[in-house]
């Protein structure tokens, strides 16, 4: 049995670092999709406005991606440092998808993103457009492989036991796990929701300040609003299906069914031996309620926003709405983090549901070593998060200046008409 303090510290560390990394992932996935769609529009129409939108929002995407990928590297160290029991027992199954995610994210996605960043004005417009779509699709693939690993922890399928360890018995079952596929749709739609609120909030800031770039940010605000509205309902649809398929104990705890909780506890004791199989009601039920409240508030904001965005006077002059949009930027983050806590806390005390308890997965390290690890990792994540917020805010406040991403340093040697043609694709 591990030291209870070690177990609590390890769980806290992973919760903080995984949650912190997930905040970066949400905006990255959403903005990548929006930027790819904007560039498609700019490439097909030759619109200078949409080309400038690609550069501005693309710069924010690149900043968030660059800082977020560092947090992903740091987070994965914990599997070997803090959860050696998990990697020893089930690493052959969930480790396969983690390895594929590493190849996709750190090699394919990063390579094509680099080509997109530095290939501006060097590749023709169709090749450059293809690059951002490769980046976007590999970002989806990266999220999918992560959720395959997480889906196995929540709903272990397609495995068999060999020599006291789990190995893949049916790869198709592992890769098409309903727990993973439903979570994948939920996360992608939630990421678009996050990007929509982010775009609307940043645009509202500039419109509130009476920016001379009112056309640019008016179009961006409308884009954010009309991305967020359908994304919200798709997110809710996938979430609703997951509610219907959740673990019985989690459902009973969330619904406060005391008699059902007692029955399930007795049943699991009979199946798995003595122990407490009831997840924390505070974390499970509390996180679920926060998620639903955040969804309800975002639904009202999206519906009202879709109506207001149809009127130019509201888009450019309704300052109270601008303030609300700025204040609403954290809402999708709150909903996604509380949803993630609900998903993971409700699985306890299992790290692999029904197969491996969390207390059996933690590494045999002293509380002091785990405490030091917690301090180092969380301090690093806090610094990275603060850096990301500062960089995003700094660039967002500057606005769509003709520098940075997509700026052609050779433009000074060209005829101005050539530069305009390049900027407008």
The string of pLDDT tens digits covering residues 355-377 is 999 988 888 888 888 889 889 88
Share above pLDDT 70 across residues of the chain, in percent, rounded to a whole number: 94
pLDDT of residue 64: 92
- Please report the beta strands in 95-204, taking only residues with DSSP state E, as ranges in sequence order: 159-162, 165-168
Tell whether the model's pLDDT for residue 10 goes beyond 90.
no
Q: Is 139 helix (H, G, I), strand (E, B) or coil?
A: helix
- Write down the domain spans for the chain: 17-423
Most confident listed range (106-110, 161-165, 226-230): 226-230
* Mean pLDDT along residues 101-117: 85
Which of 237, 211, 248, 220 lies closest to 57, judged by CA?
220
* Mean pLDDT along residues 300-312: 94
Note whether 245 and 177 are within 8 A (CB).
no
Tell whether the model's pLDDT for residue 227 goes beyond 50.
yes
Query: What DSSP line would sit under 50-63, residue for residue?
Result: HHHHHHHHHHHHHH
pLDDT of residue 418: 34
pLDDT in tens, 120-148: 888 899 999 999 999 999 999 989 999 99
pLDDT of residue 232: 96
Confidence of residue 413 (pLDDT cuts 50, 70, 90): very low
If you count them, how many residues does the chain have?
A: 425
Give first-to-last CA distance, the chain, whole Å. 63
Cis peptide before 349 (omega within 30 of 0): yes
Residue spans of alpha helices (H) in 245-366: 248-254, 258-272, 281-308, 312-317, 319-327, 330-345, 358-361
Tell whether the model's pLDDT for residue 25 goes beyond 50.
yes
Confidence of residue 207 (pLDDT cuts 50, 70, 90): very high
Tell whether the model's pLDDT for residue 417 goes beyond 70.
no
Strand partners, 159: 168
Tell whether the model's pLDDT for residue 411 goes beyond 60.
no
pLDDT of residue 78: 76
What are the CA-CA distances from residue 350 to residues 55, 272, 355, 370 (Å)? 45, 11, 7, 20
* Mean pLDDT along residues 89-107: 82
Neighbouring C-beta atoms of residue 163, cutoff 10 Å:
6
Work out the mean pLDDT of the chain and round it to a whole number.
87
Share above pLDDT 90 across residues of the chain, in percent, rounded to a whole number: 54
| CA 142 from centre of chain | 11
Specify burial of residue 407 (Cβ count, 10 A radius: 0-12, 13-18, 19+).
Answer: middle
């Amino acid at each position: 049995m591990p030291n209870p303090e070690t177990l609590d510290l390890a769980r806290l560390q992973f919760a903080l670092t995984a949650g912190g990394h997930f905040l970066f992932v949400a905006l990255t996935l959403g903005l990548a999709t929006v930027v790819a769609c904007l560039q498609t529009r700019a490439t097909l129409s030759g619109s200078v406005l949409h080309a400038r939108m690609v550069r501005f929002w693309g710069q924010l995407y690149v900043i968030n991606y660059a800082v977020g990928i560092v947090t992903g590297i740091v987070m994965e160290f914990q599997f070997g440092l803090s959860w050696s029991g998990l990697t020893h027992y089930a690493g052959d199954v969930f480790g396969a998808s983690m390895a594929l995610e590493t190849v996709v994210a750190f090699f394919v996605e990063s390579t094509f993103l680099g080509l997109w960043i530095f290939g501006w004005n060097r590749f023709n417009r169709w090749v450059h457009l293809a690059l951002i779509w490769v980046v976007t699709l590999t970002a989806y693939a990266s999220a999918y492989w992560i959720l395959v690993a997480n889906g196995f922890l929540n709903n272990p399928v397609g495995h068999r036991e060999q020599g006291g360890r789990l190995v893949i018995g049916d790869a198709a079952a592992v890769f098409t796990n309903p727990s993973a596929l439903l979570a994948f749709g939920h996360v992608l739609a939630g990421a678009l929701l996050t990007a929509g609120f982010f775009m609307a909030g940043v645009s509202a800031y500039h419109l509130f300040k009476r920016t001379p770039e009112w056309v640019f940010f008016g179009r961006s605000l409308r884009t954010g609003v009309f991305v967020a509205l359908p994304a919200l309902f798709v997110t809710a649809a996938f979430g609703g299906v997951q509610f219907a398929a959740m673990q019985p104990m989690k459902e009973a705890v969330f619904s406060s069914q005391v008699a059902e909780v007692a029955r399930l506890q007795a049943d699991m004791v009979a199946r798995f031996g003595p122990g407490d199989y009831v997840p924390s009601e505070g974390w499970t039920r509390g996180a679920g309620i926060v998620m639903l409240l955040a969804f309800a508030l975002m639904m009202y904001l999206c519906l009202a926003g879709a109506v207001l965005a149809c009127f130019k006077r509201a888009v450019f002059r309704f300052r109270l709405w601008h303030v609300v949009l700025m204040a609403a930027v954290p809402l999708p983050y709150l909903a996604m983090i509380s949803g993630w806590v609900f998903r993971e806390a409700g699985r306890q005390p299992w790290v692999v549901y029904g197969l491996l308890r969390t207390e059996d997965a933690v590494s045999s390290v002293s509380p002091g070593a785990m405490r030091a690890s917690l301090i180092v990792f969380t301090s690093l994540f806090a610094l990275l998060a603060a850096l990301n917020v500062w960089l995003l805010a700094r660039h967002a406040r500057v606005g769509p200046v003709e520098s940075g991403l997509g700026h052609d340093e050779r433009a000074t040697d060209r005829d101005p008409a050539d530069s305009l043609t390049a900027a407008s694709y």
